[in-house]
């Protein structure tokens, strides 16, 4: 008898509540019904994460310019040659950091395109042909977001590196060579 009473109380606690409205299908806003906006929403977290990572990396690379300029005299000859010589070592370093950032952004582009394949092989894109978005439109949306994300990430990385380098070198003028005097 005790078991029936306990079972009845548990059934009352877990019974569906009739006073709630049944969920109804809602419609998305018009600007969300496009393949590009769908792709942007899928890549938004990636773009934010990569932007923050490249901002931090660019700031760190730019902050290293002061020790690099101060250590010109102690640098090995091979290192000086790779960086463009003693006169252009700072330019060589910043160029090398720009290349490093570009390689990192290339990894983002490859991963963004690979995510499209992952969605297809995972079966998450099967209901998409039932909507107004075609397969080529969906793929084009992902490629458009990736094509716009790459310059954005390069801009973030370049601005962070340049701003940090300018802040570290602000007390030392960049172009300190006097103009040749005419005699």
Residue 149 lies in a domain: yes
Residue 81 lies in a domain: yes
Q: Which domain holds residue 53?
A: 44-168
Predicted confidence at residue 156, as pLDDT, reads: 97
- Contacts for 65 with CB less than 8 Å, ≥ 6 apart: 90, 93, 94, 164, 165, 168, 169
d(CA 138, CA 153): 22
pLDDT at 129 over 80: no
Tokens of 70: 């101060």
What does each C-alpha distance from 173 to 150, 163, 169 come to in angstroms? 32, 15, 7
Residue 39 lies in a domain: no
Residue 145 burial by Cβ neighbours in a 10 Å radius (0-12, 13-18, 19+): buried
pLDDT tens-digit profile of 8-53? 665 566 655 555 565 665 666 666 667 778 788 888 999 999 999 9
pLDDT tens-digit profile of 61-76? 999 888 877 777 677 7
Of 56 and 76, which is predicted with more confidence? 56
Closest by Cα among 119, 160, 165, 154 to 139: 119
Residue 83 lies in a domain: yes
Residue 18 lies in a domain: no
Closest by Cα among 165, 162, 173, 174 to 67: 165
Q: Which helix (H) or strand (E) holds 157?
A: helix 135-168
Predicted confidence at residue 102, as pLDDT, reads: 96
Q: Structure pTM? A: 0.70
Tokens of 179: 């103009």
Residue 17 lies in a domain: no
Residue 14 lies in a domain: no
Residue 51 lies in a domain: yes
**What is the percent of the chain where pLDDT is above 90?**
32
Domain count, the chain: 1
Most distant CA atoms of the chain, gap in Å: 116
Closest by Cα among 100, 88, 114, 112 to 60: 100
């Amino acid at each position: 008898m005790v078991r029936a009473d306990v079972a009845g109380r548990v059934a009352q606690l877990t019974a569906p509540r009739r006073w709630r409205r049944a969920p109804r299908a809602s419609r998305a806003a018009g600007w969300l019904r496009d393949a590009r906006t769908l792709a942007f929403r899928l890549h938004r977290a990636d773009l934010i994460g990569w932007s923050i990572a490249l901002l931090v990396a660019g700031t760190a690379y730019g902050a290293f310019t002061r020790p690099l300029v101060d250590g010109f005299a102690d640098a090995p000859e091979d290192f000086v040659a790779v960086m463009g010589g003693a006169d252009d070592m700072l330019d060589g370093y910043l160029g090398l950091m720009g290349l490093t950032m570009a390689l990192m952004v290339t990894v983002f582009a490859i991963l963004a395109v690979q995510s499209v394949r992952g969605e297809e092989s995972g079966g998450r894109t099967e209901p998409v042909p039932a909507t107004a978005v075609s397969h080529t439109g969906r793929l084009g949306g992902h490629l458009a977001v990736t094509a716009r994300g790459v310059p954005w990430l390069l801009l973030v990385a370049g601005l962070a590196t340049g701003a940090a380098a300018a802040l570290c070198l602000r007390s030392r003028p960049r172009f300190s060579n006097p103009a040749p005097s005419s005699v």
